[in-house]
Each structure stands twice: as C-alpha cells, then as structure tokens.
Amino acid sequence: MARHISPNSATNRTINAIDRKREQERYVLLVKTRDNAADLAKSLVQRLLDEHIIETNSDRAIRETVEKELKKLIDIDEFDMQFKVAPLRSLCQDPNIISLYMTQFIIEDLVDHPNIKDVFGDDLDVYKAVDSIFSKIRPR
C-alpha cells in the first residue's frame, strides 16, 4: 500500500524546521552576545567613534551603557524585540537581529544619553558600523 504525503503536511514540516533552525541560531547569537558583552561593547563603541557616528565626552560611560544593553538582550520578549527593530527591518537583506536592535537602540535611546553629544549618519551607516562588529559572532 502506497503512503500518500499531503503537500500541506510536507510544507508545514519544512516551515517548522526552518523556524526551529532560525530560533536556534537566534538563541546562540543572544548567548554569545551576553557572554561577550564587555568585548563587544568596547569594539562597538570604538567603531562608532572611529566612523564618526557618535560624539561623546565619556566613551567609558557609553561602553557601560552598551554593555548593559547587550547583557539584557537575551531576556527581551520576542514581541518587544520585533517591535524595536520594525522600523529597520527592510534596511538590508538577511539582517542580523542583534545589529538591527543595537542600531535602533543607538538611534532612539543612546542619542538621549547624557554623555552623547550627537549621533551622525543615516540608519544604514549606523547599521553597517554595528553589523561590522556583530557579524563576527553570527552563526553561518
């Protein structure tokens, strides 16, 4: 007797497998981000300063703020993460969720930090600088 496989069933299994893989990669990325928050914050702030994206009177205070934000990323609810990155979702193909989140954090939240004098560049400039740091820990 031949077994009939429903195309909908096969499609659903494929979609579920892709979703599981994507969620697993996201979790690995979040764990790496949390575990390496101090080094990533230092590299990110230095890159932002080198690229003249931010102007600050205390890079140490900015590093501490960024490090604290990186450490709490793993605890952020999926809805809150998606809500935060929604304005930037179409910025590039295959975006890094951590890079998108941190770009939005810089544009929306860090700009109001008392030690930030100004933030320069458009969204894509900020994303490229941020992603140049976080692409190194992204699983491929």
How many domains are contained in the chain? 1
More confident residue, 8 or 56: 56
pLDDT value of residue 25: 84
SS (H, E, C) the chain: CCCCCCHHHHHHHHHHHHHHHHHHHHHHHHHHHHHCHHHHHHHHHHHHHHCCCEEECCHHHHHHHHHHHHHHHHHCCHHHHHHHHHHHCCCCCCCCHHHHHHHHHHHHHHHHCCCEEEECCCHHHHHHHHHHHHCCCCCC
Q: Is 105 domain-assigned?
A: yes
Q: Is 140 domain-assigned?
A: no
pLDDT of 114 above 90: yes
Q: Is 139 domain-assigned?
A: no
Domain that holds residue 12: 7-134
Q: Express each pLDDT in 55-95 by its tens digit.
A: 999 999 999 999 999 999 999 988 999 999 998 888 888 88
